[in-house]
Amino acid sequence: GDSVTQMEGPVTLSEEAFLTINCTYTATGYPSLFWYVQYPGEGLQLLLKATKADDKGSNKGFEATYRKETTSFHLEKGSVQVSDSAVYFCALSTARAGGTSYGKLTFGQGTILTVHP
């Protein structure tokens, strides 16, 4: 079945440091890939997405490129801020017409990011 693996956490960085959170996946067909962020006490917010190979999703300084050859979707940010402290989830969807995966996102285990001033 479909699965997503994220790098082990937690990740602790100083403000303005470079961030990478690794994400690899296993899926049948051609999934869409997502990064969601969860702040304490809140639901999930969509951070960025990519729907086909070599697409780059970006938002708020975060970027991730859909790499089909390495089945990866690593999240990067050049300079993190204290306000980026949160839990980050990589997810995939293989929903397609007539398929059985409609409405289902498969998530990684989440990576806790803490940024210190």
Partner 1 sequence: KAGVTQTPRYLIKTRGQQVTLSCSPISGHRSVSWYQQTPGQGLQFLFEYFSETQRNKGNFPGRFSGRQFSNSRSEMNVSTLELGDSALYLCASRSTGGTQYFGPGTRLLVL
- Where do contacts with partner 1 occur on this chain (CB under 8 A)? 32, 34, 36, 42-46, 49, 51, 89, 93, 95, 100-110
Question: Cβ of residue 32: shortest distance to partner 1, in angstroms?
Answer: 6
Q: Cα(29)–Cα(51) distance, rounded to whole angstroms?
A: 12
Instruction: Burial-class residue 5 by CB neighbours within 10 Å (0-12, 13-18, 19+).
Output: middle
Q: How far is the CB of 102 from partner 1 (least distance, A)?
A: 5
Least separation, in Å, of the C-beta of 16 and partner 1? 30
CB closer to partner 1 out of 34 and 62? 34
Between residues 31 and 115, which has the closer beta carbon with respect to partner 1? 31
For 84, phi then psi, to 5°, come to -80, -5
